């Protein structure tokens, strides 16, 4: 699969380079990135359609909140699984190796429980930071952004992964925050545009069929753009590694089971 992608020299990419590289990789080998993205987008779509069928459309704030809560927690975990697996794909590609989604998901599976623990700990810490005061929440979000990735790619323990993320982001805080925001805004707008193009003809369809069709439209739009968002966050991690050592980081290899 890597035959269609020629990796650039190992050097910092910058924000424009990250977006360009993410799109180039996606166009070169779309199937692996889409399959990895489906890990999060498919369950999210099923939960969204199911909640709308159960509670109806979000005509009130309460119903909207219930629907958001039903999809939030799975989205947090499964989204990190997709990002970590996308990072493995990218590490293979930049090292001239095939982008195999099965291998990428296998590497994530080998580190599943430490990854779950890191996602839980960092999410809880960030929420507490936001509740206490907005600024600590933003700070923790940025410095812990790549902690779930390091659990998989560097096969680190829970504590080491969190500390490693802080060390990688140190000195690049504002760049990481700005890059993440730019990626999310760009991809989010693209997803909304695609969703509107799909769903506008379906507005006249009511009842259960309308809910299912609009949910499928949202699922298609999300699945189209999610690989770019996943690759963007993954490339932020790769960029931080290249700043640390001027060489593409190697992909993780199969390792014996180890405790967290």
Average pLDDT over every residue of 209-213? 75
Average pLDDT over every residue of 218-224? 87
Residue-by-residue DSSP string for 180-207: HHHHHHHHHHHHHHHHHHHHGGGTT--H
CA pair distance 4, 132, nearest whole angstrom: 49
Q: What is the pLDDT of residue 149?
A: 97
Domain ranges of the chain: 7-109+171-243
pLDDT at residue 55 tops 70: no
Q: What is the pLDDT of residue 160?
A: 96
pLDDT at residue 69 tops 80: no
Average pLDDT over every residue of 51-74? 63
Q: Which two tokens stand for residue 116?
A: 């779950």
Tens-place pLDDT, residues 84-138: 999 999 999 999 999 999 999 999 999 999 999 999 999 999 999 988 888 899 9
CA pair distance 227, 87, nearest whole angstrom: 11
Residue 140 pLDDT class (50, 70, 90 cuts): very high
CA pair distance 246, 89, nearest whole angstrom: 20
């Amino acid at each position: 699969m890597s035959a269609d992608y020629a990796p650039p020299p190992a050097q910092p990419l910058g924000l424009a380079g990250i977006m360009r590289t993410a799109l180039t990789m996606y166009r070169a080998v779309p199937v692996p990135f889409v399959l990895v993205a489906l890990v999060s987008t498919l369950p999210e779509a099923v939960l969204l359609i199911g909640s709308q069928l159960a509670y109806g459309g979000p005509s009130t704030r309460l119903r909207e909140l219930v629907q958001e809560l039903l999809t939030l927690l799975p989205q947090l975990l499964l989204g990190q699984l997709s990002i970590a697996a996308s990072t493995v794909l990218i590490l293979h590609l930049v090292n001239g190796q095939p982008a195999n989604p099965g291998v990428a998901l296998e590497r994530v599976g080998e580190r599943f429980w430490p990854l779950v623990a890191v996602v839980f700990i960092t999410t809880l810490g960030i929420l507490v930071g936001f509740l206490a005061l907005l600024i600590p929440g933003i700070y923790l979000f940025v410095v812990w952004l790549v902690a779930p990735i390091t659990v998989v790619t560097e096969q680190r323990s829970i504590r080491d992964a969190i500390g490693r993320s802080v060390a990688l982001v140190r000195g690049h805080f504002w760049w990481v925050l700005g890059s993440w925001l730019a990626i999310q805004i760009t991809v989010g707008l693209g997803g909304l545009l695609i969703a509107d193009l799909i769903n506008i003809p379906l507005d006249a369809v009511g009842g259960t069929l309308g809910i299912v069709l609009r949910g499928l439209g949202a699922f298609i739009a999300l699945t189209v753009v999610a690989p770019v968002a996943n690759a963007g966050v993954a490339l932020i991690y790769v960029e931080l590694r290249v700043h640390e050592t001027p060489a593409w980081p190697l992909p993780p290899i199969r390792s014996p089971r180890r405790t967290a």
